[in-house]
Amino acid sequence: MKGKTPPWEVWSTSKLSCLLTCPLMFRFIYVDKLTVPIKAKKAFGIAIHQLLKMFFSPRLKNGYKSAESFTRVWVNCWCSMVKNKKTFGKEYPPIKFENSDDPEKYLGLGTAMLKNFYYRNIEYLRSLPRPIVEKPLYSEIHGVKIMGSPDRIQPLENGKTAIIDYKTGWAKNIDIFFYQLQFAFYSYLYLTNAHKLKTGKLTKLALYNVISKDPKIYIPLKEITNPEDIEPITINDLKEVPLPTIGHFELLGRLVEQAKEYVKTVLEKRFQKEKEFFCFGDTQSGTFTPHPGLHCAIWCDYQEECEKFIQSLGNTQTGKRIKGKILAQEEAIKIEESNFLL
């Protein structure tokens, strides 16, 4: 690893969440850096987030002239991604469209979403100060380097500020833990960078479900018939997440500290028998153990690689141990894809 930053050195909320969800998936993404086709839902989310970032781009002094001009950019970008062409100046993995996936459906859904977003947010584009979008922030907690780019830092009235996270999907049964972890990450980064940002006091954290007419819940979008009837969105329209406490920051610090030690221990093969790491598992097997769950069917792109990895272990003691854990976990999992939306 000479000349390269080891994968345990710097942590983001997505990197930490990945390790919490499945250590083997973490290995594929952050250690092996495998490039595999991505699921259509994930590609759609990436594309929409890029358009939302472009909406507030400082390079566009007056923003997009109309909702139509904004959605035309979306059409071009999505079509480029579907054809596996360079998009937003980047090379993305090819998209894996499964049985129920239809590129045209995503195209229409994205157009409706972004048109609604345009009318509900155009006032924030025309007013000053503008929102800060996806600005990289850096800090340290418990001696571990962390970084993150909140989707939107929104100035409010009276010197107050909100951090808004966009969602292009909504689960009926939400595990709020990961949202609280994500916002604890962003809040800590904001608070330790406030002197550089020169923004107001952090008073609100909110989830913005851009797939919906009502950004708090899932309501399928319909074509907008009268834009004049659409009022600008307010912070009260969004799904609020409680502000983190000192306890949340302490938990975050412990998590990244343990995550760093766990990954370093496995990769440097410093195994300690019966050594358990908080939330991640143990290092007795000497490898990153797969954790089967809802993520396997919903958004993991590494199912084939995971199966090959498990088969490669054969009937070794490590293989039997890991397979036993997987079988025990699978017994407790009931995958209900109907509970999850785009």
Residue 297 phi/psi, 5-degree rounding, is: -85, -30
- Locate 250 and state its tokens: 């302490």
Longest dimension (CA), the chain: 67
* pLDDT mean over 319-332: 67
Whether 147 and 189 have beta carbons less than 8 Å apart is answered as yes
| Residue 289, Cβ density class (10 Å: 0-12 exposed, 13-18 middle, ≥19 buried) | buried
pLDDT at site 331: 60
The radius of gyration of the chain's CA atoms, rounded to the nearest angstrom, is 21
pLDDT at site 267: 87
- Locate 155 and state its tokens: 């100035």
Whether 284 and 260 have beta carbons less than 8 Å apart is answered as no
Q: Would you place residue 274 in the very low, low, confident or very high pLDDT band (cuts 50, 70, 90)?
A: very low
pLDDT at site 153: 95
pLDDT in tens, 18-55: 999 889 999 999 999 999 999 998 899 999 999 999 99
* pLDDT mean over 297-306: 84
Distance CA(113)–CA(221), nearest Å, equals 7
Can you tell me which residue has the tokens 């070794």?
Answer: 316
Distance CA(52)–CA(134), nearest Å, equals 10
